Amino acid sequence: MSERQQTPNAPSPLPTVGFFGSTLLARAARGSTWTALTFFVSQGARFAANLILARLLFPEAFGIMALVTMLLVGLTLISDMGISQSIMQSKRGDEPAFMDTAWTIQIARGVVLWLAACALALPAAAFYEQPDIAVLLPAAAVSLVFAALEPIRVETANRHLLLGRVTALDLLSTVTGIVAMVLIAWATHSVWSLVAGWVVTSAVRLAVMWVFLPGPGNRIYWEKSAGSELLNFGVWIFLSSVCGLLVLQGDRAILGKYLTIDGLGIYNIGMFLASFPLMLAMAVTSRILIPLYREHLHEEDMSARNRLFRLRYYLTGTMVAVLFVLALSGPWIVQTLYDERYVAAGGIIVALASVQMITVISLTYDQAALATGDSRGFFFVSVTKAFLTMGGFWIGVTIMGLLGAVIGLTIAMLLYYPFIATLARRHSAWDRHHDLMFLPLVLLLGGIAIWVNLSDIKMLIPGSAGALHLR
């Protein structure tokens, strides 16, 4: 075996217990705490910046950046080869040759993404009738190249749930980017400040991960067997990510043609606030649950498996409670923090937070498939989710505007549940008691939130007073 293929034997940590122990569950607890704290601080900083930017910029700027962001995220998702998931679930995830091959694929992807963004810029500007996109998109896409150059030891840390330093460095880069964005907005009052925030964040993250995150470096290297494993696993992740693009960014793609650019900016403000709890849940589960499912889902000892299931109860209960409070108070939050230009965002928060309570119930099930290497099963449920959500959203918005879109999303989430539950059951992750308890609860809570804020919900109907303008 060559020097690059050998894995150094690290000394085993002392077998302590509890939160500060060395077990996988203890590391998961610490990782969840670090991830949650970092998320709250970074999103709090983003929220504060959003309030400042809403006064320094104009709604059209948020609308234009929503389109640029949608295109960047779209390019990222449709090129996702599952490098992170491969490293977390593969038995070779700690081997230098495997990691170097993964880094090589990652770099090639980043360069291709930037070239694709440059090629897409002019057609996208013409399609959305926003000439600024032609120059904003290639500039913002530089961030994708910086992301591709990050060391693979970031993913290795995720694999072993050693997240303390990763999350701290991630927070540093995020806050630095936000500060740069606000300062540039104050000086220029230009949409370019939003682009600068993207680029500065990715550049700082690249630098600090290389300098301050311990672990071996990477080099351009190709091992045939490692490449084959990464690409075979990744092809289904790639196809799944195409579907994920439709789920995560499809609303903006559709509304970019139906709403005026200022209306899209207001929608984006509401979406940002409503998505806060779900983004937190996804940040935690994407880093924590694959390693936990990998180790404990099929254990004969039921104690660890039962603790894993209890973790889902805590996660779901917390997210549902936060979303319910957000849905109840959405209009008040907007009226308190924003000026009258953004008042319609209150109803958007109510509606989207209510729908996302349904989403939270089955949030972790797809991670069980990835933990066992079932990227094909993950792809098929992703296709189903994309078809249902995009179909529901598009049909709804054409019939009844934004309110119809929300109704369509609600129906889509209910229809999606049997498919994701079937996948979870295949991998011994389905918990019917959990789902039967939370499903009627979230429907009740969502109904209460909508009833309390009915006047704001009516603003989502085209032609009503204060409604966002359609093209």
- pLDDT, residue 8, reads 40
For residue 448, pLDDT beyond 50: yes
- Tokens describing residue 48: 């504060």
- pLDDT, residue 442, reads 92
Query: What is the sign of the dihedral through the CA atoms of 16, 18, 19 and 23?
Result: positive
Give the CA diameter of the chain: 72
∠ CA 20-26-32, rounded to 5°: 105
The answer to whether the beta carbons of residues 114 and 144 sit under 8 Å apart is: yes
Q: Which residues pair with 259 in a beta bridge?
A: 470
259 vs 22, which has greater pLDDT? 259
Q: Is 417 exposed, middle or buried (0-12, 13-18, 19+ CB in 10 A)?
A: middle
pLDDT digits (tens, 9 = 90+) for 9-28: 443 343 343 444 455 555 55
The answer to whether the beta carbons of residues 430 and 365 sit under 8 Å apart is: yes
Residue 441 binned pLDDT confidence (cut-offs 50, 70, 90): very high
- pLDDT, residue 13, reads 40
157 vs 331, which has greater pLDDT? 331
Cβ atoms within 10 Å, residue 29: 18
**Dist. CA 41–CA 53, nearest whole Å:** 18
- pLDDT, residue 11, reads 38
128 vs 163, which has greater pLDDT? 128
For residue 223, pLDDT beyond 90: no
Q: How far is CA 375 from CA 21, 33, 88, 235, 246, in A?
A: 32, 28, 13, 8, 18
Sort residue 6 into left (φ over 0), alpha (ψ -120 to 50) or beta: beta
Query: What is the sign of the dihedral through the CA atoms of 236, 237, 243 and 245?
Result: negative
Look-up: residue for tokens 């990763």?
A: 166
300 vs 409, which has greater pLDDT? 409
- pLDDT, residue 219, reads 80
Helix axes 432-452, 302-337, angle to 10 degrees: 10
pLDDT digits (tens, 9 = 90+) for 284-310: 666 666 556 655 555 555 666 677 777
Which of 40-44, 66-70, 157-161, 196-200 is the least confident region? 157-161
Q: Is 462 exposed, middle or buried (0-12, 13-18, 19+ CB in 10 A)?
A: middle
- pLDDT, residue 12, reads 37
- pLDDT, residue 447, reads 92
Mean pLDDT of 364-389: 76
The answer to whether the beta carbons of residues 330 and 453 sit under 8 Å apart is: yes
For residue 410, pLDDT beyond 70: yes
For residue 187, pLDDT beyond 50: yes
**Dist. CA 101–CA 81, nearest whole Å:** 13
The answer to whether the beta carbons of residues 210 and 151 sit under 8 Å apart is: yes
- pLDDT, residue 81, reads 65
Q: For 183-203, give the DSSP string.
A: HHHHHH-STHHHHHHHHHHHH
> pLDDT averaged over the chain?
78
Mean pLDDT of 255-261: 74
For residue 4, pLDDT beyond 70: no
Return the closest-CA partner of residue 205 out of 180, 184, 175, 183: 175
- pLDDT, residue 7, reads 40
Return the closest-CA partner of residue 363 out of 259, 272, 438, 461: 438
pLDDT digits (tens, 9 = 90+) for 342-374: 888 888 899 999 988 988 888 777 767 766 667
Helices (H), 342-431: 345-361, 365-371, 375-426
Mean pLDDT of 333-342: 83
Return the closest-CA partner of residue 190 out of 58, 63, 10, 93: 58
- pLDDT, residue 325, reads 93
Mean pLDDT of 204-220: 84
Return the closest-CA partner of residue 388 out of 362, 421, 415: 415
467 vs 339, which has greater pLDDT? 339
For residue 173, pLDDT beyond 60: yes
Mean pLDDT of 402-431: 85
User: Percentage of residues in the chain with pLDDT exceeding 70?
Assistant: 74
- pLDDT, residue 136, reads 92
The answer to whether the beta carbons of residues 43 and 282 sit under 8 Å apart is: no
For residue 204, pLDDT beyond 80: yes
- pLDDT, residue 2, reads 42
354 vs 216, which has greater pLDDT? 354
Q: Where are the domains of the chain?
A: 57-253, 259-471
- pLDDT, residue 119, reads 92
The answer to whether the beta carbons of residues 416 and 385 sit under 8 Å apart is: yes
- Tokens describing residue 292: 């936990």
The answer to whether the beta carbons of residues 82 and 237 sit under 8 Å apart is: yes
- pLDDT, residue 1, reads 42
469 vs 140, which has greater pLDDT? 140
For residue 3, pLDDT beyond 50: no
Return the closest-CA partner of residue 106 out of 244, 209, 211: 209
- pLDDT, residue 18, reads 46
- pLDDT, residue 138, reads 93
